[in-house]
Structure 1
Amino acid sequence: MFVSQISGQEWVCVFRDLTERKQSDEALRQAQKMKSLGVLAGGIAHDFNNLLAAIMGHGSLALGKLTAESPAFSHVDKTIKAAERAADLTRQLLAYAGKGQFRIEVFNINELILENSGLLETVLPPHVHLAFDLDPTLSTIRADKGQVQQVVMNLVINAAESIVAEMGHVHIATRAISSHNLLAEASETSCVSYIFNDDLPLSQPYICLEVRDNGSGMGMETLKQIFDPFFSTKDFGSGLGLSATLGIAKALQGGIQVISELGKGSSFRLFFPAAVQESKESNMDIQPATIQGTTVLIAEDEDYIREMVCDALAAQGINVLAAANGQEAVQIFRMHHHSISVTLLDMRMPVMSGNEAIRLIKQIDAEAKVILMSGYTENEAPSQLLNQPTVQFLQKPYTIDQLLQRLQRFDASEPSHGNGHAAPRPRTKIKATNGVAE
């Protein structure tokens, strides 16, 4: 409000509604905070994935040298399983950062919910009743089925844990919603909303998945923090479930909205863009090749990972050439490219990155087979590289089994070394078990 006196007798009052401006400022602040936390979370996940790759790899090597009767066998096995659980946490961090790895397919979300209804019932305590209100006319969505299933499970569990009354209710509902109504609902002042539709047309239809409960609810201060990594209203848990859910919504260009009131319960709404066109992916059955006696070049700046990969591959009779950075990898490839079957390149290395190294390697041999590796996901790799049939991606942490299987499938056909002739090399069948090939 602005007040001014005119001529000593008359007053002029000007009122300005700052609600919209404050909402815009708050939205900008939240977006900046989310971006900063996303960068931090992604960096932490990348570094931890490097460490976990070494733990899982060396653990698998050790396990392969032990018999099941050895006193150390169960301890090493539990170490590997603990590392795999830690890898699940880093995947949630990457999901929050919008860098999660997705397997996109077209499916009906109602069918997914009904298929998992029995499992959802089992995770609820006896005093909580689960009800469904599913729109039978829904169109399909394009998303990662496993990720959406995990999101539904997390939201239902969170809803049940918030119910302290003797009798509680959790409702799962679905409906179609237009982009106009979606943006209108997101502008409600009594909720927290994130809508990621910058690159989608205004006419884009959405599918809404809602999980609501009559639990204890949350105040606005808590609502503003629930998507922050490691924030939790419980005394247990990682505090990453809702962070990952937000990241999934962002990656799919959808949205999420939370409405809650203390003592009355909460409602979580997820918005997925409806599938415009269903596509069928072809799954070609590629017969794995035998790789014993082949030569593999590994470029990895982390000593403990590079040594682990060298030991694992050498144990299978694979000839290994090692480089500590991209520049060394290019030099080695230039000298030995006629005998190298596959090159393993870490994407982030000092002196020269994997992206630059692969560009120079492709100049030497356009048909060179390269597997890019990173603690991030393949979204970090240039799409023009991954679109090439001779380039693949392997996310850290990976097990030795996964590495060997990828090499086997990738080397199913002989590489062409510029002159159109394959380099001859001996081959023998290998078999991988327990993370180590035999």
Structure 2
Amino acid sequence: MSVLSGKKIVLGVSGGIAAYKTASLVRLFIKAGAEVQVIMTPASKDFVTPLTLSTLSKNPVHSTFYNEVDENASWNNHVEIGLWADLMIIAPATANTMSKMAHGTCDNLLLATYLSAKCTIYFAPAMDLDMYKHPSTLASFSALKSFGNIIIPAESGELASGLSGEGRMAEPENILSFIENDMIGKLPLRGKKLMVTAGPTYEAIDPVRFIGNHSSGRMGFEIANEAAKLGAEVTLISGPSHYIPADKSIHLIRVISAEEMYNACHTYFENTDIAIAAAAVADYRPKNVASQKIKKAESSLTFELEKTKDILASLGEIKKDQFLIGFALETENEIENAKGKIQKKNLDLIVLNSLQDDGAGFGTSTNKVTFIDKNFNMEPMDLKSKGKVAQDILNKVIAHYND
């Protein structure tokens, strides 16, 4: 899966002959899973039609602040578009447009959006050889890079003038690869191996019935998805759950029982950098499992339970340099019980959630947690979506490696 999957991209097209290549570029972005909005300068429409880019992007193309046909239509809000974007790419970036960007000139919708954008901005220069090497163009390059913008270097080849040399806009495939590689290189968990457990475990009573709990697995899957976005190599060990990973790079291992989850965790833990135990593992299982379905004969049924293996404690015992995070779902004496688990299970961090809090626990899209580290520093968090909680957890991981 491309690192651009799910990203919101604003593509700014300025008026140069290389604008015809943007049709292929839009198609590549869409194929990578991105959502694209195109803004064209008025001059760029002489080289490629808005209809072409609108059809490929599946979104209206904007080039003016207002609808010239319908005076009652709403204006094109450059601030809103700029804030919507995760990335902005200006391709082709002509000498004229780059000079305006460098000096804050704002005489069209593309430049207004550029000045409003808060996201990472890439620009792909395109012009003739002498223009590319002119001191004013080199000054624009320097100014734009000093603003934090990222240049996608022009390529050498035959130019529109008939000359051959540097100044040709990078080919769409190379623009895509440049952006992907740049983003991957900046991912904070790149090169880290992360293991996360999710969901419940089911402990068989007979071939039909089991002991389980209400965990859906959503929290663990959210963590896995967010970790993959941050560049981690993710192994997700999940008990029964209807969720599937959003990122195809995630290595999903399906298990049913606590014993199966224990074995899977110990298979991968040794070569793991980060382990996050978000699964709701059964503490007990039937000591004897019936080989046939138990018939409803008596008014009551009694069977003996035995403890399952404590997966988190067993990982804490063999932990070397791994950053180990556990979860605690409590109904009483929450803080004291969570602190006890940190010491008993040799954890670096515990994520405490209480069933006393509305919107927390099983079967909800939200969670309200308190972070407690191994030094017993506590950080209560507000009620958030489980996706946002996953981000908070991984921010703790990133902070650990940045210390």
Give the shorter-chain TM-score range.
under 0.3
Q: TM-score, normalising length from structure 2?
A: 0.24
Q: TM-score, normalising length from structure 1?
A: 0.22
Relative contact order: is structure 1 or structure 2 higher (C-alpha 8 Å, sep ≥ 6)? Answer: 1
